[in-house]
Structure 1
């Protein structure tokens, strides 16, 4: 069933920004601290049996200097420097294997697939631990880890990792640093959206059914996971709700969208109970750069699937060449 506002209301839905005091200073300080650690990006050749690609097991220093794993893939026959797609992952998954990421290198682009610290699953394995503990009691998952203080929140580390992933890609000799695009679905879409407000000079962004945007509304209109982690936490942590919501405001995609300059392609699905469509429309309407939106009326969290990927390929050709 449709899960949110009617489409005619969504097309004009533009709620106020949930910007906390000191938002820009918080992120400036966070990224300045991260850059006190050498990026020390490394690219070790591997042979996964893909004759048309050059594949590298990559590492770089993310938040706190913690080593973050990635795949770096290059079309073997292409001459560099190449445009590059930095790919972020959905919630609960890891970087998988090189053959799982053939779309962008087959289109002729360098591709860096960032592993997600502390996330993995039986069908989506990851390779990057999260060495930071968290103080407040939480529920299983990542959304409540460190939730009572923006300084300690899990997504402060993950967003910082994502910024450093762009820096690692830009520093590779095979990459044209002026032609880097960020991409992701769900949590990955939320990371891509955040990068548009944190990383200057991006060539573009692919923001598909973005998680972690317009968070206050999301937790009011869905109990589905992962947002359900927050509502379950709030049901027990009754005295901490306002503190936690203020933390979440520091990571809300609406605030990054309002600072964006790169062209972006969004995707949203009207039957999505995981990421309510009003949250994606809100991000789209606040997005300050050039933008396009694909709306999938009869799809859930999978969004437009292959049709969305086709639209992304066309968009990438337009902004990357």
Structure 2
């Protein structure tokens, strides 16, 4: 993929033009309060793996509307004392898979909770958390971005973002973790969820790592890229052009730019200038919305597509978090 978005100097100052929807705070605070009210204590059970340096646990916690969400908790074997904890969210189409697939953060000395993604896990990694059908009523394009898109109340990402906030709540309550040193991380969809969770749960998040985040500056993204998942919206509106105002108004409620404005923790973000999946202007729109006072940095990968820095970004992210939590 060649360079297709704004030149880098313009990206560095780019701001999204979509205003925050009316009642945004009330919508999200009400949703999260209801999920917390419906929550049950998490269930944590050790699982056997071939690994000798990592101990892993099967976790079930309460997400949106109290519905059960799965996860894996891993920590360095034999670690004593409360550990800083990293909550990780997964890219589009993937589920939690197996504990052996999540070694980066526990190998670096952290407790690590990876949240399964409701209704996903049928693409490149398996999952174990259903998304009850009654919440996604109405027409949709194949995929998740238009599921329940005719109203913010029924949209798929209302549920998934609430799950992410509840994952942070759960991580802070787990035994033998230091809740004062809690990190959220993820790439693509996971990067979007890390920014959303940090913006909606700022009092619990100590640092943010967001790789090539999805769901940024959505109204622009659907007009400048031919790649999925944003093309799901285009296909839906091609079939239902009269629904465009309604659909875009719903998507405004999950645009990560609006969550980013509420982040108070130090944040590191990666952007790839040849990324047609998560266009760089959207990533910069979210990054530029994070208050400077939070302490932030962006890693630009000029020659990358959606791989977004690969191990180079992982290394920098580990160093960033270690420095912020020291």
TM score, norm. by length of structure 1: 0.98
Structural mapping, 1:1-321, within 5 Å: 1-133=2-134, 134-201=136-203, 202-288=205-291, 289-321=294-326
CA RMSD of aligned residues (A): 1.0
- Tell me by how many angstroms 1:122 deviates: 4.9
Matched residue pairs, number?
321
Conservation of the 8 A alpha-carbon contact between 2:69 and 2:129: yes
Conservation of the 8 A alpha-carbon contact between 1:18 and 1:252: no
For residues 85 and 319 of structure 1, the distance between their equivalents in structure 2, rounded to whole angstroms, comes to: 13
Runs of 4+ in 1 over 2 A off after TM superposition: 15-18
For residues 195 and 41 of structure 1, the distance between their equivalents in structure 2, rounded to whole angstroms, comes to: 19
Instruction: Single out whichever of 285-294 and 127-136 deviates more from structure 2.
Output: 127-136
Conservation of the 8 A alpha-carbon contact between 1:39 and 1:62: no
Classify the secondary structure of the residue corresponding to 1:35.
helix
For residues 318 and 282 of structure 2, the distance between their equivalents in structure 1, rounded to whole angstroms, comes to: 24
What stretches of structure 1 of length at least 5 have no aligned partner?
A: none
For residues 77 and 234 of structure 2, the distance between their equivalents in structure 1, rounded to whole angstroms, comes to: 48
What stretches of structure 2 of length at least 5 have no aligned partner?
A: none
Conservation of the 8 A alpha-carbon contact between 2:202 and 2:262: no
Classify the secondary structure of the residue corresponding to 2:317.
helix
- Tell me by how many angstroms 1:17 deviates: 4.6
Q: Deviations over 1:83-109 (max 9, x none)?
A: 000000000000011111100001000
- Tell me by how many angstroms 1:16 deviates: 3.0
TM score, norm. by length of structure 2: 0.96
- Tell me by how many angstroms 1:18 deviates: 2.8
Q: Deviations over 1:144-166 (max 9, x none)?
A: 11101000000000000001111
For residues 285 and 158 of structure 1, the distance between their equivalents in structure 2, rounded to whole angstroms, comes to: 24
Structure 1 pair 64–3 and aligned structure 2 pair: CA distance change class (3 A): same
